[in-house]
Amino acid sequence: MIKTISSLEILQDLEPGLHKFWCEIISNPLSQPIKIPVMIAKGKQEGKTMGITAAIHGNEVNGVPILQKLFKNLDPENVQGAIVGIPVANIPSFERKKRRFVDGRDLNHHFPGKPDGHNSSVYAYNLFQRCITYFDYLVDLHTASFGRINSYYIRADLSDPITKRMALLQNAQIIVHNPPNDSTLRGAASQEKIHAITLEVGNPNIFQKGIIRSGLTGLYNVLHEFGLYPDEIDQPENDAVLCRDSYWLYTQEGGVLEVLPDLAQHIQKGEVVAIVRDIFGDIVKRYSAPEDGIVIGKSISPVNISGGRILHLGRKYQ
């Protein structure tokens, strides 16, 4: 029988070992509790707490097996401090296989939430106060959204040496400097002085074995680096491309969209990156790169209305 807890306040008095809990967040229309799964590896020695969250968006599932594999192989005898995994942070959306919360909002734009706000805000508040505030470090696992694919990339505040080091340890293809000045989980955690990064580990609604292995390696690296678990740093085959920022290119014309570059491809200013055709197959418009950069993510949905996304362009440091 897995016990239900009200918050991670239990960490202080928890016995060393591997533990599984349900943590109550809100209640459903039947007045029944909605609980999230929590896995804890507690060491005998005092230390920091590393939190790892997945499925803030209900269709972003690659993080689930990453956490399952991590906790299956952790030996609590070697843990210093505590490692906390939340394999599904957004239960209502996960159950529905949907990105957005039940009120149609993006949960990851409503942190740290409010105790008396709308549905997403209350859920975000309770999740944040009952779980996230007990972390010293946070790794938040995401994937691309529906109709898009991503490279294996990181969003982090590269002006902070700790979060920069956390990002570099993930052995990602691309790292984007992204100061936490928004209402994401990472942004709210950073406001509470929790060192936090976001990992984009692949694509939605699917398990991808290769990128799951990469994500797992990055977690072991960061756990070792910050003294929570003994291991060896697995060095990357290639250095990550560092970007000073990034943005999306959008279409002005509707039609059938074809995005030409591959993920992580370096593109040059003026290079044709997308073609839109009408329903008869005639070219309506070609889209060119406005500047040099690297492809972080891109649309794979050919059905395009005006204002549709083309690709996510990273602007590299010179």
3-225 is a CATH 1.10.3720.10 domain: no
> What does the alpha-carbon distance between residue 19 and residue 15 come to, in Å, rounded to a whole number?
9
Distance CA(200)–CA(115), nearest Å, equals 29
CATH code of the domain made up of 246-316: 2.40.50.100
Please answer whether residues 220 and 211 qualify as being in contact, where contact means their C-beta atoms are separated by less than 8 angstroms.
Answer: no
pLDDT tens-place string over residues 207-240: 778 888 888 999 999 999 999 999 889 998 899 9
The 8-class DSSP code of residue 125 comes to H
Listed in sequence order, the residues at least 6 apart from 7 whose beta carbon sits closer than 8 Å to its beta carbon are 23, 129, 130, 131, 134
Query: What dihedral do alpha carbons 115, 116, 121, 123 form, nearest 10°?
Result: 50
What residues form DSSP beta bridges with 304?
255
| SS3 assignment, position 309 | strand
Residue 149 is predicted with a pLDDT of 94
Q: Is 121 helix (H, G, I), strand (E, B) or coil?
A: helix
What one-letter code names the amino acid at 242? Answer: L
* 305's tokens: 């209305």
Closest by Cα among 199, 157, 153 to 173? 153
For residues 190 and 166, give the distance between their C-alpha atoms in angstroms, rounded to a whole number. Answer: 14
**Distance (Å) of CA 69 to CA 35, 135, 140, 246:** 21, 21, 16, 32
What tens-digit pLDDT sequence spans the chain (318 residues)? 899 999 999 999 999 999 999 999 999 999 999 999 999 999 999 999 999 999 999 999 999 999 999 999 999 999 999 999 999 999 999 999 999 999 999 999 999 999 999 999 999 999 999 999 999 999 999 998 888 999 999 999 999 999 999 999 999 999 999 998 789 999 999 999 999 999 998 887 787 788 888 889 999 999 999 999 998 899 988 999 999 999 999 999 999 999 999 999 999 999 999 999 999 999 999 999 999 999 999 999 999 999 999 999 999 997
CATH 2.40.50.100 segments of the chain: 246-316
Proportion of the chain in helix, strand, coil states, percent, rounded to 5: 25, 35, 40
Nearest to 167 by CA among 192, 210, 201, 199: 199
**pTM for the full model?**
0.95
Are 314 and 298 within 8 A, CB to CB?
A: no
Residue 186 phi/psi, 5-degree rounding, is -60, -40
State the residue for tokens 């060896």.
Answer: 232
Q: Could you tell me where in the chain the CATH 3.40.630.10 domains are found?
A: 3-225
CA torsion sign, 114 to 120 to 123 to 124? negative
**Which run of H or of E encompasses 168?**
helix 161-168
